[in-house]
Structure 1
Amino acid sequence: MSFSTPEYSHPLAIVVPCYRPPSGWAANILASLERLQSLLPPVAIHVYVVNDGAIADVTADDIALLTTTLAGQFTYVAYPTNYGKGHALRKGMAQVQEPYCLFTDIDFPYQEHSMAAVYQLLLQSGADIVVGVRDDAYYAQVPPARRRVSRLLRRVTRHVLRLPVEDTQCGLKAFNTTGRQLFLRTTTQRYLFDLELLFLASRIQHLRVLAQAVELKPGIVFSRLNPRILLTETTNLIRILGRRRRY
């Protein structure tokens, strides 16, 4: 379907958390945006990068490149302490002025046509939240430990929490204003903020959550699971499961 009609001209914010970014990350964002913009030619795209304590890994040249090239469509938020991905995304989304937004990771790991499809579904359907859903090809690329954790979370999502979308942890999600305001109500600092978000969404009548299949780019390098963070996230999972009893 073409994106060249006025129906798809609504401004879009892309919020990106930044911690230990890969080499050349700023140039990679610009290259990815160029490909995405070719799919969404009438759409004004504003990028929000949130530096979550990665001060030493982000240079003045990186920020100057994005500021100059994106010409008023770039916002940079930075603070010295690493709090976690959930915290960083809330900081970024609190800055958003556009009616629609999505978040992805600093390396823009998902195919641009997947990003465009998530945006398209958000507008077409009137959904409040569109959740990217990964296929089996994704899990073939990830390290075994990460694959086991992802599958465990899927089982919890399906059999215990009974959420509308089984794959809660995909790093590509889109929101209208209602969905974004719900996201800002989450409190999880690190990785299980997605699970908390969809848990909250499932308890709100008339709030619409839809899924969109997405594809990972080839050659994406995954970080190793940190045992300390895994322990923290286990505590967060128990906290979220405990909240289930209060609804």
Structure 2
Amino acid sequence: MTDRHNAARQLETGLAALDARDVHIGIFDPDGVFRHKQVSADKAVKLAAKGYPFCEVLYCWDTAEKTYDSGAYIDRPATLFAENLRRYPFADKAAVCIADFEGDFGALSPRTQALRMIAELGALGFDVNAAFEFEFFVFDETPESLRAKDFTGLDHFAQGNRTYSLQTTALYGDLIGGLRQTMETLGIEIEAIHTELGPGCFEAPLHHAKGIKAADDAALFKNFAKAYFLRNGLTAAFMSKLSPDLAGQSGHLHVSLTRRTARRPSTTRPSRRA
């Protein structure tokens, strides 16, 4: 049985465990945007077994979807990673599955590069554990109001916010709790969450994870946090520097290398001196 058929069986088992009827299959583009399609569970299993065609335009445009060049933009084969199946947080009986391009074209993928480096460290005898830490601003704006204002003179959420503010979390505890619940549904553990320097600024360090899951968790957190706040009529911004008048925002990466096998103590006995 091929690896692809094994993945299909694993995906089918996972979807049954989640009681999922729909699957959001997504590929991260080079800017970290989760580009996805929603298909039925049966269709997802077939794609896992036969291959998943996805348009190469993902690697030919920017976040505003302005293409770098012209072309036919053909479909490229992709793989579904059944081991990363997660519950979708915004609907019942739905799941999320990460996919990525295969072959020479897939070698361009940041996720493929991360897997390669993790494998190289594994060959040296190390496991990789990592955790990402995000700082982001929340605006009392929608995509429509942002464009109407030409992205200037924006209204901040929680304008009276202070760093480590009890008052902000007391006022907006349900909103913050909802973000944590959204991530828990996705299998992403938020280590802590608190207000940061500036109006509507928050910090959310994620719990550490092994191997590629740490990177997947981080990329999914950013995408689904934006979606979560939009569902609440707000906009989350992860830009490093929004304005000269505001503090900069950081994205910290914490990495730990652990030896897979402990070094054995020496069995050589010290020589006795006469």
Give 1 or 2: higher helix fraction.
Answer: 1
Task: Determine which structure has more spread, i.e. the larger CA radius of gyration.
Answer: 2
TM-score exceeds 0.5: no
Give 1 or 2: higher strand fraction.
Answer: 2
Q: Normalised by the shorter chain, which TM-score bucket?
A: under 0.3
- With a CA cutoff of 8 Å and minimum separation of 6, indicate the structure with the bigger relative contact order: 1
Length-normalised TM-score, structure 1: 0.28
Length-normalised TM-score, structure 2: 0.26
